[in-house]
Structure 1
Amino acid sequence: MHNTVKAMAISALIAVAPFGAQADSHNRSIDEVLVILSSDSLQTQGMAMVLSNTMAQQGARVNVLLCDKAGDLALKSYEAPALKPRDMTPGQMLRGLLKQGGEAKVCALYLPNSEHDKEDLIDGVGVAMPPEMAGQMLNGKMRTFIF
């Protein structure tokens, strides 16, 4: 009788184990994400920054690559109309992401093809190097989002 109860308990655990594993993997958050932003649309830039900040608040390490006109968000001189409902610009949201520990870089082509240089970028924003960015994009554990 004792062995029968033991066998039934083990069988029950084996039967339930796959469901527990599935729930864990489904609820497990992504550790690191890459957000590539190249749109010049104010609302698209804003939504990319809202989602980036939200992912950071949910525990993800957020890396942002700013290309083309979106690189302007990283400029000290950046100005844009504030977006509702929080009355913030995408540049202000980027600064908030950096304060949360997010990383931001401008594309390697941004500075050489603009009138700006590295000193024009806000503190905490670097220049992306293609091997590093390609490595992040190829990393199977890192989700990539493009705006």
Structure 2
Amino acid sequence: MKKTLLALFFAATSSYSLAADQQQVTVTLASASTMAQGMAMVLANQMQEQGAQVDILLCDKAGDIALKGATGDALKPNNVTPAQLLDGALKKGATASVCALYLPNTGHSADDLRDGITAANPATMGANLLEKNRKVIGF
């Protein structure tokens, strides 16, 4: 019984330690450039594959890839759009939001956003960006 409890304790604390040590990354993307959007999403996906928890903040024209039915130009060599790359990141556990200014200044509403994408809360986003061990990358 003691061995079982001890094993459970170590398993629980090990997984907690791994989660606590997971690199937190915020990718901010405001560029209207398809290549910049694509590269930001490629790197977000790569960071996830290497164990990071990625949060994506889309502002200005980049917010358009968060809209339902977003298309765009496919990028070589894999012939995928930034919106498709964003979908891939979301499926792997990334979070995504549009900046708080996006919806009221574009005429879009929260109903226009794809599933799983929300409008960012400035206070929460500001606190996240100030986290000591968080990396913030801008495009």
What TM-score does the superposition give when structure 1 sets the normalisation length?
0.79
Identity %: 50
- Unaligned 5+ residue runs, structure 1? 1-28
Per-residue Cα deviation, 1:10-55 (whole angstroms, up to 9, x for no partner): xxxxxxxxxxxxxxxxxxx862100000000000000000000000
Distance 2:69 2:91 in 1: 19
Per-residue Cα deviation, 1:89-112 (whole angstroms, up to 9, x for no partner): 000000000000000000000000
> Which protein shows a greater Rg?
1
CA contact (8 A) 1:52 1:97 kept: yes
Aligned residue-pair number: 119
Aligned residue for 1:50? 42
The secondary structure found in structure 1 opposite 2:102 is coil
How far is the alpha carbon of 1:113 from its aligned partner? Answer: 0.4
Aligned residue for 2:28? 36
Distance 1:53 1:95 in 2: 10
Aligned residue for 2:77? 85
Distance 2:41 2:75 in 1: 11
For residues 122-141 of structure 1, the aligned pairs below 5 Å read 122-141=114-133
- Unaligned 5+ residue runs, structure 2? 1-20
Per-residue Cα deviation, 1:60-112 (whole angstroms, up to 9, x for no partner): 00000000000001001312110001100000000000000000000000000
What TM-score does the superposition give when structure 2 sets the normalisation length?
0.83
Tell me the amino acid that sits aligned with residue 65 of structure 1: L
- Alignment of 1:72 with 2:75, yes or no, is no
How far is the alpha carbon of 1:128 from its aligned partner? Answer: 0.3
What is the root-mean-square deviation of aligned Cα atoms in Å?
1.0
Ranges of 4+ aligned residues in structure 1 off by more than 6 Å:
none
Distance 1:34 1:117 in 2: 23
CA contact (8 A) 1:30 1:142 kept: no
CA contact (8 A) 1:30 1:143 kept: no
The secondary structure found in structure 1 opposite 2:37 is helix
Per-residue Cα deviation, 1:98-135 (whole angstroms, up to 9, x for no partner): 00000000000000001211011000101101111111
Aligned residue for 2:53? 61
